[in-house]
Amino acid sequence: MNRSVLVLLAAVLMPWPAAAEPLSRAEAVARALAANPEVRRSLEDVAALGGVVQEAKADALPELTVIGAGTRYRDPSLLNSSSFDAFPPELRESLSPIPANVFDGYAQMRQTVFSFKLQKAIRAARLARTVGEEEVQRTRQAVALLAVRVYNEYLLSLEKVAVGEKAVRQKEKHLEMAKHRREAGVATQLDVLRSAVDLENTRAILIRLKGEVDQARGRLNAAMVRPIGTPIEPTDSLTYTDLQISPEEAERRAWSDRPEAKAIALNERIYSELIGIAQSDARPRLDFYGVYGWSVREPKNFFESDFARWTAGVTLTIPVFDGFRTRGKVAQARAERNKIAQDRVALENRIRLEAKEGVDRLSVAGSVLEAADLNVSQAQQALEMTQANYQHGAATTLDVIDAQAALTLADSNRIQALFDHAMARALLRYVMAQDPLEPSAAPSGGR
């Protein structure tokens, strides 16, 4: 078979790589929230707490049970009576026990009329469900922050590759210039060798940067819980958006809106209810019970009034002494509430620190980005001047290599500063219990 035909068949049969899917930052966050197992688990926790509320309410509702039973028995208890021997002989002979059937069918109802525990248990269960809902919100914010971070990391890795490719093109251009100058007799072979070595070193760095792109894409796919190797084409970019806020305002918003702060306040109320529940074990309670049904020897007599049986009554339970068991339960509940109070102090301190660090991080990132923008412009000018001097023999190859390295470093620092500023904004929004994903807005500052 002709070689060209084989090449054509191989090209046709070879599987084509999957097209990269366009993906925005908002879409990445939405997919992560929809598929993340931690979010789904927290939703199931809320569903379970809803069941706890139903269970607590059950004590306030009547408990109705329908019971049916059939028994066949023979009872010689009369023959064992202590006075049986005093009966006349003919009567004793006629009192021989025989087997019999008894069928019972009845409905039984129990209802708590009054209990100190009942309402407190229901309130505690409802508060626990609300705590679960706050945990869902906290988990969603954490997953959104993770999705924003890995998306930005993917953008950062792509930008680093772009900087690396730019550096390779610069060094390729300089190598050609050095070769031409060598041919013209105004440069040495050492200049050519130094330029070639520098180019190969930069290409090696570019290969490593491309490997980092694959790793960043894998982390982004993992955050969205889908195949790690799925190709992605990001539609957003790292941009600068101005955000000005004071540490005091950040702290105020964090404490008023953070799910953790709301949850800890709810937990304090829950343990206050649990103290009351423990105390109620030593207090009176009133219950009603009732039974209605039929007891017959023959099934045909069911629903006959003569065979009806019923019982109704109320029970008042007044605990007198339980060996200090209730006192021990109350002490445990109070200790747990006191621990929550200490957790509240720790959380206040942590939120205060996170707010201060978030504002400081944003301020530093903004200053670094401003300096990086200026440095890129200066490094570009320095490279152009050095290359012009090199063409006229007023600069060496090492001077050009140093200028290229300075521009590459300046470009890398600027991209890193953009990433740091974007993440500082997302982290500060997270600290203030806002969506880490910024609302759609036109970037400001022209960066």
Cα separation, 241 vs 443, in Å, equals: 5
75 belongs to a structural domain:
no
The position carrying tokens 């890193």 is 416
What pLDDT band is residue 371 in, cutting at 50, 70 and 90?
very high
Mean pLDDT of the chain: 88
303 belongs to a structural domain:
no
Cα separation, 330 vs 277, in Å, equals: 8
248 belongs to a structural domain:
yes
pLDDT, tens digit, 9 for 90 and up, residues 331-341:
998 999 999 99
pLDDT, tens digit, 9 for 90 and up, residues 164-215:
999 999 999 989 988 988 888 888 899 899 999 999 999 999 999 999 999 9
The position carrying tokens 């707490």 is 49
96 belongs to a structural domain:
no
How far lies 102's CA from each of 24, 39, 99, 155, in Å?
76, 57, 10, 82
Cα separation, 182 vs 241, in Å, equals: 49
Residue 274's contacts (CB-CB under 8 Å, 6 or more residues apart) are: 120, 124, 333, 336, 337
- For residue 444, what pLDDT is reported? 41
The β-bridge partners of 314 are 288
The position carrying tokens 């065979």 is 307
Q: Which of the two residues, 181 and 352, has the higher pLDDT score?
A: 352
What pLDDT band is residue 395 in, cutting at 50, 70 and 90?
confident
202 belongs to a structural domain:
yes
Percentage above 90 pLDDT, the chain = 59
- For residue 230, what pLDDT is reported? 93
**Neighbour-count burial for 155-192, b at 16+ CB within 10 Å, e otherwise:** bbbbbbbebbeebbebbeebbebbeebbeeeebeeebb
- For residue 15, what pLDDT is reported? 46
73 belongs to a structural domain:
no
Cα separation, 78 vs 97, in Å, equals: 8
350 belongs to a structural domain:
yes
- For residue 393, what pLDDT is reported? 81
Residue 378 belongs to domain with CATH number: 1.20.1600.10
- For residue 95, what pLDDT is reported? 74
The β-bridge partners of 67 are 106
- Comparing C-alpha atoms, which of 206, 251, 207, 218 is closest to residue 349? 251
Token duo for residue 281: 């074990």
Average pLDDT over residues 345-352: 94
- For residue 347, what pLDDT is reported? 94
What pLDDT band is residue 10 in, cutting at 50, 70 and 90?
very low
Residue 311's contacts (CB-CB under 8 Å, 6 or more residues apart) are: 289, 290, 291, 292
Total structural domains within the chain: 1
374 belongs to a structural domain:
yes
CB 418, CB 236: distance < 8 Å: no
DSSP codes, 9-68: HHHHHSPPPPPPEEE-HHHHHHHHHHH-HHHHHHHHHHHHHHHHHHHHHHTTS-EEEEEE
The boundaries of the domain holding residue 344 are 20-58+116-283+319-431
Average pLDDT over residues 128-141: 93
How far lies 371's CA from each of 181, 374, 377, 383, in Å?
36, 5, 10, 18
Measured between its terminal Cα atoms, the distance across the chain in Å is 59
Average pLDDT over residues 401-418: 93
Q: How many CA atoms lie within 13 A of 7 on its CB side?
A: 3
